[in-house]
Amino acid sequence: MTLSLPILGEALDELTNAFPPRRTPVPQPGDVGQIMGFFTDTTLCIGCKACEVACKQWNQLPADQYNFTGYSYDNTGHLGATTWRHVKFKEQIGENAGRWLMMSDVCKHCESAPCQHSCPTGAIIYNDFGDVYVQNDICNGCGYCVSACPFGVLGRAEGQQDDGHAHKCTLCFDRQSDDMTPACAKACPTASIQFGPVDELRDRARGRVKELQDRGNQRAYLYGADSVGDYGPLNAFFLLEDHPNEYNLPENPPQPFKGQAKRYAASLLTGVALTALAAAVFGKRS
Ligand code: SF4
Ligand code: SF4
Ligand code: SF4
């Protein structure tokens, strides 16, 4: 049997590029044709947690204990398999006054999602609404997506819902399919969470930043409406008024597949060099 060059090329590509770039989703019959997402305006958040509760209620997710973490008005601490919305509280003490930053965090439904790239079974897809969706019946629980996500969104179910599979926000795919607003956005009493076609949301968000800046809040800016450093745009993006780290968001989210080919090549070369060295040393002794 002879191996043709294209087959060799494909095999080499598979070996050196474990995280191939996003494959553009093929439109399916019935697709809405618009990518739906979230604009979360943290300046409007009052920390009521209605979004977190509505998400758990609609998606039948169990409570994550009732213990306060001790470092914030919080008992969930972070996003995970059973917490798909998480309201963060950050108290800032200044020289003259203190203030609270509050932000309802969620899966960013990244336009080029490392979790989707890294899934070996094809369980993670872009659904009809352009949102990143985990198909639980195909997930084998390997956890690659958990480590690939630069925002710490995904978790594997343990305890009450112990199926060992990865879980995260579906952007209420079931509600969207019935022309309903996602539960968290529906429950938010201040419109801090806004849902809609991302192009419209981005325009609205830019208008809101301008409005805030005209009113004297020069700190207002958008995180993820456009690319964040090397990382592509997020379809769930945020209006912030401090450094991303203050909200526990990465300033430059890493794309794990970037530079992968170089790293594989370096490992291969090191292996070859060490083998040659060992052969030379043992060759001399014998
Ligand atoms: S935020 Fe994480 S889990 Fe959500 S789509 Fe992006 S990489 Fe995937
Ligand atoms: S869109 Fe639905 S699943 Fe996602 S955080 Fe909101 S309520 Fe939860
Ligand atoms: S429901 Fe709205 S105001 Fe309340 S915590 Fe969530 S985002 Fe903030």
Does pLDDT of 240 surpass 70? Answer: yes
Instruction: Spell out the residues 6+ positions from residue 229 whose beta carbon is closer than 8 angstroms to its own.
Output: 251, 252, 253
Q: Compute the distance from residue 121 Cα to the ligand 2 centre, in Å.
A: 24
Planar angle of CA 108, 109, 112, nearest 5 degrees: 110
Instruction: Spell out the residues 6+ positions from residue 23 whose beta carbon is closer than 8 angstroms to its own.
Output: none
Nearest ligand 2 atom to the CA of 175 is 2
- Identify the pLDDT of residue 161: 61
Per DSSP, which regions of 19-84 are E strands? 36-41
Q: Compute the distance from residue 151 Cα to the ligand 1 centre, in Å.
A: 7
- Identify the pLDDT of residue 9: 67
- Identify the pLDDT of residue 25: 52
Q: Tell whether ligand 2 has an atom less than 6 A from the beta carbon of residue 86.
A: no
Task: Read off the pLDDT band of 263 (50, 70, 90).
Answer: confident
Q: Tell whether ligand 1 has an atom less than 6 A from the beta carbon of residue 107.
A: yes
- Identify the pLDDT of residue 28: 55
Q: Compute the distance from residue 87 Cα to the ligand 2 centre, in Å.
A: 13
- In this structure, are residues 225 and 205 in contact, taking their beta carbons and an 8 Å threshold? yes
Q: What does the alpha-carbon distance between residue 48 and residue 234 come to, in Å, rounded to a whole number? A: 25
Q: For tokens 């926000």, what's the residue? A: 169
> Ligand 1, atom 6: nearest CA belongs to which residue?
110
The overall average pLDDT reported for the chain is 88
Task: Read off the pLDDT band of 19 (50, 70, 90).
Answer: low
Q: Tell whether ligand 3 has an atom less than 6 A from the beta carbon of residue 55.
A: no
Task: Read off the pLDDT band of 257 (50, 70, 90).
Answer: confident
pLDDT tens for each residue of 44-67:
999 999 999 999 999 999 988 778
- Identify the pLDDT of residue 67: 81
Q: For tokens 């979790």, what's the residue? A: 115
Q: Tell whether ligand 3 has an atom less than 6 A from the beta carbon of residue 239.
A: no
Give how far Cα 233 sits from Cα of 74, 152, 179, Å.
29, 17, 25
What does the pLDDT average to over 109-113? 94
Q: Which ligand is nearest to the CA of 257?
A: 1
285 or 107: whose pLDDT is higher? Answer: 107
Does pLDDT of 32 surpass 80? Answer: no
What does the pLDDT average to over 232-247? 96
Q: What does the alpha-carbon distance between residue 230 and residue 191 come to, in Å, rounded to a whole number? A: 30
Q: Would the CA dihedral through 161, 170, 153, 141 be positive or negative? A: positive
